[in-house]
Structure 1
């Protein structure tokens, strides 16, 4: 374990439920090669949206039916990030991407897994993330379409009707939370990840939802710092208090890698 991990902030945020969570063993961190990762969490059959909001405000996220919270030894790099929708301001690049996306049609609906969506997801994993193997259909459904809480799906089509990208979000009484976005790698030049984030923020605002949750902003990990380009935003402190993010926006690529 390196010097930075030994002296990072501690302890973790308090687990927000009376139900006891299970802790994972230490495993290699997916963000830093010299660190170990540990989570605590629980699988949920059904979770009230207001309760999930409380859990997000304690630093929790979800993957399928698993609700988890990082409790890595001595490391607090993964911090929940959210954007107040009323004060969000596009930067110059985002305004250009927004204008170029005016030809897209967006359908917002209950999440529904299909063969066509899985084929896009598999290509996305293989070609965009350079993974040798994609995901089988069952794993795809469990990861994105088997949700214990209230969720929505944003589907992006071009003028010809071709499906270009799909975003999965959770919705609570006060927030839209981005879970994951995947797209056709052949359309990467359209910067669909950025456009979808902008659309989600605007949609949340029109629905009267005060916040858009982007997931973890991982301090020191360049591939996750792109989220700070959407702002002004707020970062959840290790004391459970939301504070304005003061660091400069990242210079990362505009395509979202994920929002888990």
Structure 2
């Protein structure tokens, strides 16, 4: 049976609100709702700078600002830095598994505590389920356990060419393990194991402390909103072949 992507709500611009990354600036998004996304369709959206939570697809549409830059890692070329190798050694005791979506009470507890302690945000179960357990396309989750206890959980989209990190959260009590960086390293490795080309890190905002860790993953490619192509920011400004 042929499955066709279903648009639930056509693209529209949202009402501006305060930017969480650049204080004093307005934030707005172009967004739409969809389901039944095939891997090839998702890949086209990712290569054009779109992100998603469940059926909600979005990209920045901020007045006079293009500071949110989509970034991706060509996994065949990635080599961990010395600091990242230290994170891997420190986290060798963490058991990491990738698999299908699986709802647990512990996963919600981690998400709620992570949101509250890191960002000062109160979250509810309904939004948690809608964002991560209402899949609109191919998705999977990663689980990070220490001595059998779940301490971190990640959600990823899978397109025909890439894995894309939707979100990762962890128990703040284990911040010393640098689980955010550890998760990216494992997800890049898993992308390579699957034979895919790219790992999408989401958006990068220069000068944002919350996104500073993304700057350490190299080589990487940035999406240029004007030319609509991807390039390595450390090389000449030209469009590589897709």
Aligned residue number for residue 52 of structure 1: 42
Aligned residue number for residue 139 of structure 1: 127
Residue 205 in 1 paired to residue 205 in 2? no
Q: What do the CA deviations read for 1:23-70 (whole angstroms, capped 9, x no partner)?
A: 212222222222112211111122112111111111110122110111
Residue 178 in 1 paired to residue 165 in 2? yes
Task: Pick the aligned partner of 2:140 from 152, 155, 159.
Answer: 152
Compare the two structures and name the one with the higher strand fraction: 2
Aligned residue number for residue 250 of structure 1: none
Residue 39 in 1 paired to residue 29 in 2? yes
Aligned residue number for residue 242 of structure 1: 230
| Whole-Å separation in 1 of the counterparts to 2:234 and 2:213 | 15
Structure 1 unaligned spans of 5+: 1-16, 248-260
Aligned residue number for residue 104 of structure 2: 114
Q: Which moved further from structure 2: 180-189 or 48-57?
A: 48-57
Tell me, yes or no, if the aligned pair for 2:10 and 2:33 is still in contact at 8 Å.
no
| Whole-Å separation in 2 of the counterparts to 1:232 and 1:109 | 27
Q: Which moved further from structure 2: 190-199 or 25-34?
A: 25-34
Tell me, yes or no, if the aligned pair for 1:77 and 1:220 is still in contact at 8 Å.
no
Q: What do the CA deviations read for 1:137-156 (whole angstroms, capped 9, x no partner)?
A: 12211122212011110001
TM-score if structure 1 supplies the norm length? Answer: 0.83
State the aligned residue count: 227
Deviation at 1:20, TM superposition (A): 4.6
| Whole-Å separation in 2 of the counterparts to 1:120 and 1:236 | 32
SS in 2 for 1:235: strand
Q: CA RMSD in A?
A: 1.7
Give the ranges of 4+ consecutive aligned residues of structure 1 lying more than 4 Å apart after TM superposition.
none
Aligned residue number for residue 256 of structure 1: none
Deviation at 1:219, TM superposition (A): 2.6
| Whole-Å separation in 1 of the counterparts to 2:45 and 2:35 | 16
SS in 2 for 1:44: strand
Task: Pick the aligned partner of 1:215 from 171, 187, 202.
Answer: 202
Structure 2 unaligned spans of 5+: 1-6, 236-242
Deviation at 1:86, TM superposition (A): 0.6
| Whole-Å separation in 2 of the counterparts to 1:56 and 1:35 | 25
Tell me, yes or no, if the aligned pair for 1:107 and 1:154 is still in contact at 8 Å.
yes
TM-score if structure 2 supplies the norm length? Answer: 0.89
| Whole-Å separation in 2 of the counterparts to 1:54 and 1:120 | 32
